[in-house]
Structure 1
Amino acid sequence: MADNTRTTTAPVGVTPNEAGEEPLLSVRHLRKSYGDHEVLKDVSFDVHRGQVLVLLGPSGSGKSTLIRCLNGLETIQGGEIRFKGKVVPNNNERAWRALRTEIGMVFQSYDLFPNLTVAKNIELGPTKVQKRAKAEVDEQMDRLLRDVQLTEYKNAYPRELSGGQKQRIAIVRALAMNPELMLFDEVTASLDPEMVREVLELMLRLAKRHMTMIVVTHEMEFARRVADTVMFLENGVILERQSGDDFFTHPATDRARSFLDSMSPVGDE
């Protein structure tokens, strides 16, 4: 896992790696605005292979906007995104289309095609975009569906699935592309409470298998369990970056302490 030692010379969010290896993802001085409203202000950070980075912060802090910028779904007004050592041309849709086969993303709204079966939803990207053989894709799909205990729904349509099942299928669909980085944007936000656990358990299993992940969540106990590193944002600025253990036990800023207190269960002392 990535080293979490903080430095005073690098921008907040940027830390050296003990092995000296190049980050899988490197972001420098990223800026994003909607008109005159600056949503992300000079954001810099690295993500190394096998690391789980959790983005925390209050609503409106820029977390979801940031993660969408990392998949080319939002244009940026400045800064640099580098993936596997290569700079991604700013706001170049063609470049991002190619990168989306390596950077998977799962949204809170599932985004499954309602007119396609589970199998067809999963097969579409690997066979049409990556041009892989259907037999190879189907073998991988069967393995992934067994892993999430949804084999019996292979020929079902999304309308026949629960919210938790749809979200697990959305994750399987992303994994079938063999991404090197997975982005999760509040994937449990639209689920009923009893369906949240099955999705979070799947993400925990991915973390234990050293899948490189960036996760936006309001599930604090899950964040504590999964995070190698926590990056806390407010008003488009990284206020602090610490290891998961240190952030939840000894947050460095009063604002982070206040945030954690506000997310504690009612009556928790």
Structure 2
Amino acid sequence: MADSNNSVSNDEILLSVRHLKKSYGDHEVLRDISFDVPRGKVFVLLGPSGSGKSTLIRCLNGLETIQGGTISFKGEPIDGREKTWRRLRTEIGMVFQSYDLFPNLTVAQNILLGPTKVQKRPKDEVERQMDGLLADVQLSEYRDAYPRELSGGQKQRIAIVRALTMNPELMLFDEVTASLDPEMVREVLELMLGLAEHHMTMIVVTHEMEFARRVADTVLFLENGVILERQSGHDFFTHPETDRAKAFLESMAPISDGE
């Protein structure tokens, strides 16, 4: 199994996972998961439904407790206490497929809430950052709109802007296009590609194979709670090492028209 992290020095590692285990009762969902994420790199988690991808990414933000192993961020092991995770969530942003915007707050109020209330940053400073990000994603005109006035793709871009306004060092994306209409998927993926081009460190769970091919520095292919294959994005999509990964890629390929 190829390991893309062999040549990475410790001071470049942002997130380190060692022998992570996660169970629900007697059902072991993740078994002995280990990997390092260097700064500025994009890791894509691929695998069939039920392989543990979403559970893993939720463990990395403290949304799921773990039963074994360690998670370290910037060289420091995370003790697992909720107080610690609350602090780290200002540095580890996460975007879900369900947007999670507060329906009774405007776009601006949704975005400003975390930086001003949690990080205690000056409102005018955060507003300048927010306005710049909204302009970047072409949503400035929706600053004072409510979530119900937005399309799914617009809501998801606002959710990403909200996370970025916290100035995270690591971004986690869990199937953020899964609930979108097909025509809305592109605008969200293009935003994420832009983040990758600006060297945002990201861990992404996705079923969008062409996007994964373009964005992944490293692919972790999971099945039955283990990392079955670990390769560079290029090598995984051109020369998968395992028969299971080959079968997965074939199952995700576009349907041929037979011509």
TM-score computed with the length of structure 2 as normaliser = 0.97
Q: Alignment partner of 1:242: what SS? A: strand
Is the Cα–Cα contact under 8 Å of residues 8 and 38 in structure 2 kept in the other structure?
no
Instruction: Return 5+ residue gaps in structure 2 as ranges.
Output: none
Is the Cα–Cα contact under 8 Å of residues 6 and 15 in structure 1 kept in the other structure?
no
Q: Are residues 1:37 and 2:27 paired?
A: yes
Q: Alignment partner of 1:21: what SS? A: helix
How many pairs does the alignment contain?
A: 258
Q: Are residues 1:254 and 2:253 paired?
A: no
Q: Alignment partner of 2:13: what SS? A: coil
Instruction: Kindly state the Cα deviation for residue 17 of structure 1 after the two structures are TM-superposed.
Output: 3.1
Q: Are residues 1:143 and 2:132 paired?
A: yes
Q: 1:71 to 1:208 in 2, by over 3 A?
A: same
Name 2:64's counterpart in structure 1: 74
Q: Are residues 1:166 and 2:155 paired?
A: yes
Amino acid at match of 2:186: R
Name 2:2's counterpart in structure 1: 6
Which of 198, 211, 228 is the aligned partner of 1:222?
211
Instruction: Determine what percentage of the aligned residue pairs are the same residue.
Output: 79
1:1-269 residue pairs with structure 2 within 5 A?
Answer: 6=2, 15-19=5-9, 21-90=11-80, 92-267=81-256
Is the Cα–Cα contact under 8 Å of residues 240 and 246 in structure 2 kept in the other structure?
yes
Is the Cα–Cα contact under 8 Å of residues 104 and 175 in structure 1 kept in the other structure?
yes
Is the Cα–Cα contact under 8 Å of residues 28 and 79 in structure 1 kept in the other structure?
yes
Counterparts of 2:23 and 2:247 in 1: how far apart (Å)? Answer: 27
Instruction: Kindly state the Cα deviation for residue 99 of structure 1 after the two structures are TM-superposed.
Output: 0.1
Amino acid at match of 2:223: E
Counterparts of 1:254 and 1:193 in 2: how far apart (Å)? Answer: 30
Counterparts of 2:100 and 2:257 in 1: how far apart (Å)? Answer: 36
Instruction: Return 5+ residue gaps in structure 1 as ranges.
Output: 8-13
Q: Alignment partner of 1:231: what SS? A: strand
Amino acid at match of 1:88: I
Q: Alignment partner of 1:112: what SS? A: coil
Instruction: Kindly state the Cα deviation for residue 18 of structure 1 after the two structures are TM-superposed.
Output: 4.2
CA deviation map 1:1-34 (0-9, x unaligned): xxxx935xxxxxx732345534100000000000
Counterparts of 1:194 and 1:45 in 2: how far apart (Å)? Answer: 34
Amino acid at match of 1:6: A
Q: Alignment partner of 2:30: what SS? A: strand
Counterparts of 2:177 and 2:2 in 1: how far apart (Å)? Answer: 31
Query: What's the RMSD between the two structures over aligned residues?
Result: 1.3
